[in-house]
Amino acid sequence: MIKTTPTKKRLLLYIFFGWILLILGDRVGDLELYQGSFVATYALAITSIILLTGYSGQLSLGHGALMAVGAYTGALSIFNAGLHPVIGLIISVFVAGIFGLILGLVVARLSGPYLAGTTLALAISLPTLANQFPILGGEEGIVFDVGVAPARFGDEFSQYKWFFWISTLAALIMVWLVANLLSGRYGRTFKAMRDNPVAAQLSGINVGQLKVMAFALSSGVAGLSGGLLVMLISGVSPSAFPLSLSFAVLTGAVVTGLYSLKGVILGGLVLVAIPEIADSLVSRIGGSEGFTTTLPGFLVSALLILAVVFTPNGPGHLLKRHHHKKKV
Amino acid sequence: MSLVVSNLTIDHGAIRAINNVSFTVPQGQLAAIIGANGAGKTTLLRTLSGLKEAASGSASWNGDSILGARPEDLARSGIMHVSDGKSVIAELSVKENLALPGIWRKDKKDVALATSEVIELFPILGQRLSQSAGSLSGGERQMLAIGRALIARPKLLLLDEPSLGLAPLIVEQIFQTIKSLVKKMNLTVVLVEQNAMGALKIADEGVVLNLGSVVAVDSAEKLLNDPAVRAAYLGF
Amino acid sequence: MIRQYALPIWGFKMTQFITAVLTSLSSGAIYALMALALVLVWRSTRVINFAQAGQAVLTTYIGYTVIQRTGSYWLALLVAVVSGAILGAVIDRFFMRPIFKRIKSGPIVMIAPVVATLGLLGIIQAIIGFIWGLTNQSIEAPVSTGGFKVMGTVIAFSRYNLLVLIFVALAMLLLIILFQKTDIGLALRASAYSPEIAKLSGIKVDSVRTLGWAIAGASGGLAGMLYIPGYFLFPNAMDLLLVFGFVAAVIGGLESLFGAVVGAMILGFAINFATTYISAKLFFPTAFIVLVVVLLLKPGGLFGSKKSRSA
Ligand SMILES: Nc1ncnc2c1ncn2[C@@H]1O[C@H](COP(=O)(O)OP(=O)(O)O)[C@@H](O)[C@H]1O
Ligand SMILES: [Mg+2]
């Protein structure tokens, strides 16, 4: 028998999970595939927040900006430079990561509200910078086209299934990489730093360097998520990255529980499901335009508050605690 | 009229800081609670003034339980706690620090009287009124902290290591002032000190704390002369 | 010949400069009100109150309704400021305080307040949408919004802008008197600097905090009623103002009311001069750049406290 280490186990688990998803993909319609692609995309963005806030203790209110960096990079590499979409997405990760590295270096000394304010200002200003450079297409933006699926997948293979495959595989690979990283030595150092920066510093951890690294990693993940997001909407423009996107992703992360990657799919599902739930509610009970349009926002916000109050460490934590109590 | 503490136990999470402590301070007396660093003195005072919760036991002042009450309510009812580390608000001026109890006290005439009494007691404060409290020396800060408490016209004064970090001459001056206040203002004082010698000299009663437990309670004079206590806790 | 050409150009440059200064002042003044609202809450509870954008819009809608009923802008202004104070107090007493009671330990403490106020912002904005709908409303300014004439040209600074400046200056004067000359102000400052010593001195710190939220709410209510005329009223109308107020507050160091005003003016001048003299597209990036430059030089802001506080 092969000895299965935790890492190997995780790899097998992810492959199995991916396989199930792709099989499921054959059984459902285009709408579900499209929604599934968004779930994967948001799950990635949430992963990126968990990496930064949950593991390194830095709060970002501007993840939309980091996603925008990845999105524009991807668009330029695919549309302007004519690279293969997969290569384009990989470049997104690296460019966004480098951007995050620089940002991390700049904000390394900031904490709490100072960091929050800076990332918030970044979130509103960076997308508008696109207007400054003609190559980025101004308000109109530029197309983001990953093309149709290769012919060998057959005629039946729809564009949506192609989106689904790309986003699901990209998300699985990325989350797997991050999970491996966090379950190892780095994860422990990150947690030590988050829980008690002073003690961590005293025990020889280079807190400053680690924070910058967290920013770079988180930004790379966010960049991939941004690339996928604009793939799904076929174009990238400043308006694709409003403040509400940054907040929504943060909500997803809080609902998931900031301290574990286990629930990121759940967070993605919630972000995709809420507008749907609101829609079906509205179609049942009706209401004014003001009511119907604001209901999703209301539900997201209410969920956010409930999550903070009742499951501050994530639903997983709650289950664990109940379990623990039963045992005692 | 007295402070009665019985079977009081206080935890910091998993750490038991005060273990089953009992003692009584009759009205008008000065009790010194002495013990080494980490004995639990600060924890005890913080619980008596409402800043910290107790795990079990009771504490009462004039028959009313004081556990679980809010610190601001206890302060208004005459229990003033001068916390450790020269508790003044550095960003405010000396005058403003002294004015804090006057915010809620109804008898404004008496507030003015008490303020002038405090300035008489600590003339140096009178010269520094408009200076920021952060610019005072350690001794002056301690005087300001005690002075602020006095303006509330307290009945029970809880003092946490007023001598810490001060020059011997200043310590002597502050201890003498505390002793004179007890008589003059009919105060009851709980004085927490590592400086056991100095504290017991001015105190009526002494309580010796070690690792959260009471190891001796007696009159201050007897404690000072008890060879065992001297050897183990007074270090001479 | 040359002089004939030179004069109008010089005149144009001069009016352009004067306009830039005056618009900087009036936009800085509005940022300052929002920054003050945020600093007041930060000082009293260590929370950045993102819901302030929602609170201010809500009170402005209330003001809008008053105008619809009575036609009086001034009555509406008063109602908006008073309801802003009440709303602020209610939010602190019945929303923030219970949340703080629940969440005392663990890493969530760091972000719970931010997340809670963000959630509250969403809820308030949704409620506004439920009640008033999403269509843009407008509030007419009580005085002319036509620009003054300087050297024969109309500049982008109106009687209304002047009124705004005066109101903001008055509000600040009131705040200074309140904070420096009254017992309430002393209690507010003592509770902000050292809640523990304030409590031990008999000050009801919890109530004082609620009062801080009320004053902040009033400041936000004033900001809304001054900002919306000349702009539109919709549920998200003050999101950007919140961001600029926050940036201004951070530049000023978050602790200091004076710093908030200075930060707001720096921001107002930087943005208006950058957009006037370099490019109109630099509106948002300027805010970011100014903030980063200030924080690189002083990570705690210009007038921040020396012990850098994190929360
Ligand atoms: N906030 C705290 N958290 C955890 N442990 C504490 C805290 N404050 C004090 N302790 C512990 O409680 C014990 C008593 O401390 P303290 O009351 O400060 O003693 P003293 O004032 O006599 O020096 C010590 O072991 C100390 O480490
Ligand atoms: Mg102590």
Whether C244 shows a pLDDT value over 90: the answer reads yes
Q: Decide if B115 contacts B151 (C-beta within 8 A).
A: yes
- Report, as an integer, the average pLDDT of C178-201: 94
Q: Which two tokens stand for residue C148?
A: 């003054």
CA proximity to A277, closest of A299, A294, A255? A299
Task: State how far the Cα of B205 lies from the Cα of B184, in Å rounded to an integer.
Answer: 18
More confident residue, A129 or B26: B26
Residues 6+ apart with CB under 8 A from C265: C24, C25, C28, C32
Question: B–C: how many Cβ contacts below 8 A?
Answer: 70
**Backbone conformation region of residue B165, classed left if phi is above 0, alpha if psi is from -120 to 50, else beta:** left
Tell me which residue has its CA closest to atom 7 in ligand 1.
Answer: B12
User: DSSP secondary-structure letter at C137?
Assistant: B
Q: Report chain C's mean pLDDT, rounded to a whole number.
A: 90
Q: Which of C43, C184, C191, C201 to mutate to test the interface with B (most CBs of B within 10 A)?
A: C201
Pocket test for ligand 1, best of B43, B49, B233 (most atoms within 8 A of CB): B43
Report residue B208: phi and psi, to 5°: -105, 125
C-beta neighbour count of A195 within 10 angstroms: 12
User: DSSP secondary-structure letter at A55?
Assistant: I
**Residue C309, pLDDT score:** 39
ipTM, two decimals, is 0.93
Task: State how far the Cα of B140 lies from the Cα of A46, in Å rounded to an integer.
Answer: 54
Q: Quick one: which H or E segment has residue B11? A: strand B2-12
Place of tokens 């800060």: B141
Nearest ligand to the CA atom of B10: 1
Q: What single string gives the DSSP state of each residue in A185-222?
A: HHHHHHHHHHH-HHHHHHTT--HHHHHHHHHHHHHHHH
**Residue A316, pLDDT score:** 61
**Mind listing the pLDDT tens digit for each residue in B58-98?**
999 999 999 989 999 999 999 999 988 778 999 999 999 99
Whether B236 shows a pLDDT value over 60: the answer reads no
Whether C310 shows a pLDDT value over 50: the answer reads no
A126 touches chain C (CB under 8 A): yes
- Report, as an integer, the average pLDDT of B35-53: 92
**Residue C15, pLDDT score:** 83
**Residue B217, pLDDT score:** 85
**Mind listing the pLDDT tens digit for each residue in B183-217?**
888 899 999 998 888 888 899 999 999 899 988 88
**Residue A1, pLDDT score:** 46
Kindly give the confidence (pLDDT) of every residue in chain A, 328 residues in length, as a single tens digit, with 9 standing for 90 and above. 455 677 778 888 888 888 888 888 778 888 888 999 999 999 999 999 999 988 888 888 989 999 999 999 999 998 888 888 889 999 999 999 999 999 999 888 888 888 988 999 999 888 888 877 888 888 888 888 777 777 777 777 788 888 888 999 999 999 999 998 888 888 888 888 877 878 888 888 888 888 899 999 999 999 999 999 999 988 888 888 988 888 889 888 888 888 888 888 888 888 888 888 888 888 887 777 777 888 888 888 898 898 888 877 777 665 555 544 443 3
Task: State how far the Cα of A88 lies from the Cα of A108, in Å rounded to an integer.
Answer: 29
**Mind listing the pLDDT tens digit for each residue in C215-231?**
999 999 999 999 999 88
**Residue A326, pLDDT score:** 41
- Asked whether B and A share 3 or more beta-carbon pairs under 8 angstroms, the answer is no
Identify the closest residue of chain A to C112 by CA–CA distance.
A308
Number of the ligand 1 atom closest to the C-alpha atom of B35:
22
Question: A–C: how many Cβ contacts below 8 A?
Answer: 160
C311 touches chain A (CB under 8 A): yes
Full-model pTM: 0.89
Whether C4 shows a pLDDT value over 80: the answer reads no
**Contact between C118 and A113 using a beta-carbon 8 Å cutoff:** no
Whether C307 shows a pLDDT value over 80: the answer reads no
Place of tokens 């009033």: C218
**Residue A105, pLDDT score:** 92
Q: Decide if A76 contacts A188 (C-beta within 8 A).
A: no
Ligand 1 in reach of B14 Cβ (< 6 A): no
